[in-house]
Amino acid sequence: MSLTERIAALEEEVRTAAARTADEVERFRVAMLGRNGSVTALFEDFKQVASDEKRALGQRLNQLKQSAQARWEELKENSGTGSTAAMDAGDPTRPAAIDAAGSLHPITVVRQRIVDTFARIGFTVSQGPEVEDDHHNFSALNFPPDHPARDMQDTFFVQGEGQFALRTHTSSVQVRVMEGSKPPIRTISPGRVYRNEAISARAHCMFHQVEGLYVDKGVSFAELKGTLDYFAKTMFGPDVSIRMRPSYFPFTEPSAEVDMSCSICGGSGCTVCKHSGWVEIMGCGMVDPAVLSNCTIDPEVYSGFAFGMGVERIAQLLYRVPDLRLYWENDVRFLEQFSADAFRS
pLDDT tens by residue, 139-196: 999 888 887 777 766 888 887 655 888 999 999 999 999 999 999 999 999 999 999 8
Dihedral sign of CA atoms 263, 266, 272, 276 in order: positive
Q: Under 8 Å CB-to-CB from 7, ≥6 apart: which residues?
A: 42, 57, 60, 61, 64
Amino acid 204 reads H
- Binned at pLDDT 50, 70 and 90, residue 323 comes out as confident
Report yes or no: 110 and 314 within 8 Å, Cβ to Cβ: yes
- Binned at pLDDT 50, 70 and 90, residue 199 comes out as confident
Does the pLDDT of residue 121 top 60, yes or no?
A: yes
147: left (phi over 0), alpha (psi -120 to 50) or beta: beta
Model pLDDT, residue 85: 46
Peptide bond into 254 cis (omega under 30): yes
pLDDT tens by residue, 223-250: 999 999 999 999 999 989 999 999 999 9
Does the pLDDT of residue 257 top 70, yes or no?
A: yes
Other CB atoms within 10 Å distance of the CB of residue 23: 11
C-alpha distances (whole Å) from 31 to each of 4, 17, 23, 185, 332 are 19, 11, 12, 74, 42
Does the pLDDT of residue 28 top 90, yes or no?
A: no
Residue with the larger pLDDT of the pair 28 and 131: 131
Amino acid 89 reads A
DSSP labels for 61-88? HHHHHHHHHHHHHHHHHHHT-SHHHHHH
pLDDT tens by residue, 43-64: 788 777 777 777 887 788 888 8
Report yes or no: 206 and 193 within 8 Å, Cβ to Cβ: yes
| Helices 106-119 and 221-236, packing angle to 10 deg | 130
Report yes or no: 332 and 236 within 8 Å, Cβ to Cβ: no
Q: Where are the domains of the chain?
A: 3-89, 106-344
Per cent of the chain over pLDDT 90 is: 43
Does the pLDDT of residue 341 top 80, yes or no?
A: no
Mean pLDDT of 1-26: 83
pLDDT tens by residue, 68-83: 888 888 888 877 655 5
Q: Under 8 Å CB-to-CB from 326, ≥6 apart: which residues?
A: 334
Mean pLDDT of 97-105: 72
Domain covering 106-344 in this structure, CATH number: 3.30.930.10
Model pLDDT, residue 100: 65
